Structure 1
């Protein structure tokens, strides 16, 4: 019976130990790859959607991508300079980012957007 009273405490200790170990596996810093697009005025809404969906598919095709999110501009400041879309891709290392850049799926995406952008900006940074 005494052992049964200690069981919840034992399970709690095990759970906390596992959580700590999992946290240790995550890198302290991550490499963010920020991509900003402005579309040419001749690009249709369907073409924009196709590009959004193609970018969104990259994390399923490229295992080095550890995180992905995107959105469209909603800033009231008026400083966008024609940029309407922001894509944020996360990597654990420069090696992973470099593998992404030469990956066939990324290369195909580059061909898809060719001639459809009026502006593009890419910034990579290590989180602090």
Structure 2
């Protein structure tokens, strides 16, 4: 197994509050995506809705994946004023959140 050098993934699972409309969720997603333009440490952003047939989502409905070059870059992103401002809106709109950071590893078979 080999760790992928220079890549750290930040995964956020979310379930939005029932009173948050689809339009509001769309705006929150656009705001999250726009952080790539505001925070240099953030290298990419992807998102999607749960489509698992296993039904193990534990109520989480949305997945957000961002890419950074280091654990330190995630810390800088987390402290960045644009992230802090956005996170306050995101957290206030969320019923459940889970965040995980990891370094991808390639399995050589």
Runs of 4+ displaced beyond 2 Å: none
> What CA distance in whole angstroms lies between the structure 2 residues aligned with 1:41 and 1:64?
32
Larger radius of gyration: 1
> What CA distance in whole angstroms lies between the structure 2 residues aligned with 1:57 and 1:31?
19
Q: Which runs of 5+ in 1 are unaligned?
A: 1-26
Q: Which runs of 5+ in 2 are unaligned?
A: none
Structure richer in helix, relative to its length: 1
Structure richer in strand, relative to its length: 2
1:33 has 2:10 as partner? yes
Residue in 2 that maps onto 1:96:
73
TM-score (norm 2): 0.87
Aligned-residue RMSD, C-alpha: 1.3
TM-score (norm 1): 0.75
Higher RCO, Cα 8 Å, sep 6+: 2
Residue in 1 that maps onto 2:52:
75
Residue in 2 that maps onto 1:44:
21
1:119 has 2:96 as partner? yes
